[in-house]
Amino acid sequence: MFRLVVLSGFLGAGKTTMMVGAARALGRRGRRVAVITNDQAGDLVDTAVAAHGLPEGAVAEITGGCFCCRFEDLERTIREVVGRTGADTVIAEAVGSCTDLQATVLRPLRRFYGDSIRVSPLTTLVEPIRMAALGPASAGDRAHRAAGADLEYLFDRQLAEADVIALTKMDAQRGAGLAGELARRYPYALVVPCSAVTGQGMERVLEAWEAPEPAGRDLEVDYDRYAAAEARLGWLNARYLVDGAVPGEWVLAVLGDLSRACARAGYVIGHAKLTAQAAHGLPTSGVGGLAKASLVAAGVAPALDIPGPEGAGALRAVVNVRVGCSPYELEGLVTNAIRAADETTGARSSAESTNAFSPAYPRPVHRIPAA
């Protein structure tokens, strides 16, 4: 018997940081932990970041769709990573645009595989910037945010089905009372302010994962609105070869230009993540010399999450961007941002692969109502 923890939360909520931080904390307690990343396409920043922070072989990924639509792949991948590592705990982060996980992932796992997999309460992450942009608003505010109504609906459904709401990035928090607001709006969930970076509140999160299975609650989900919310965002996963750049400087320059361009165009940023690592022999994986930057809103400065080495050299960069525009427009935005970063840093970049798209309509393999 091993434990499975599923993390949900909107794009940019900090799921990968939470996953790696929790895996390390559990490891210090003597637990053997593996993690699974998830995305609609390949070339995942999250996989590289998780591999950077965890032992070799402890990271697996599921691409080409969310857990609910790739349920058999999820079950098989869980068993493969447990068999490979001897893990007694698996933490899996769902795609940031996914909801209805209780009915389409957790309940099916409990029903079909409950004799070998102990499924923890569903933990949904939310961070202050996203709460301000997509959380509860006055009627007047909503009139100005009508264009993002489907995204607000998706954001609300993610929180409404949570057993545990982790209010993340508390080291950057400015607004007091967010935890109380969440507790009032979502009374069935345990709200835990926390930071996987500083460790604040993480003990309560880990304790919540050990709790018994909570009572089932059915969540009403309008799948047409759910699909519309996903389709509002253009998605781009790409891989570049970069020569002559300091990794941390280059990733910040790319996302800085993208932030300004989206602010000028009025585009919502779901998230933008970028890694650059030393391309020794140009491997397809590996974590040598990794730098990573992220962006969760237009018009703000990107964060350098992992600084990387100070010297310039040959790099492989992975780009994952979700922006409220068409895939065609998004590809142009990213191309222009990389060109601008090259001019700023003196680098030379060339695309290895680019995949710009909008997600398909979500069609879960299973959907089991609460008993």
Average pLDDT rounded to a whole number, residues 332-354: 97
Residue 239 exposure: Cα atoms within 13 Å on the Cβ side:
15
Q: Which amino acid is at 225?
A: R
Report pLDDT for 366: 98
**pLDDT tens for each residue of 263-274:** 999 999 999 999
pTM, to two decimals: 0.93
184 pLDDT above the threshold of 50? yes
**pLDDT tens for each residue of 275-328:** 999 876 433 333 457 999 999 999 999 999 999 998 888 999 999 999 999 999
In the chain, the domains with their CATH numbers are 2-213+222-228 (3.40.50.300), 233-357 (3.30.70)
Residue 68 to residue 66: CA distance in whole angstroms = 6
DSSP bridge partners of 350: 241
143 pLDDT above the threshold of 90? no
H or E element that contains 289: none
Cβ-count burial of 37 within 10 angstroms (0-12 exposed, 13-18 middle, 19+ buried)?
A: buried
Residue 283 to residue 140: CA distance in whole angstroms = 52
Cα end-to-end distance, the chain, whole Å: 23
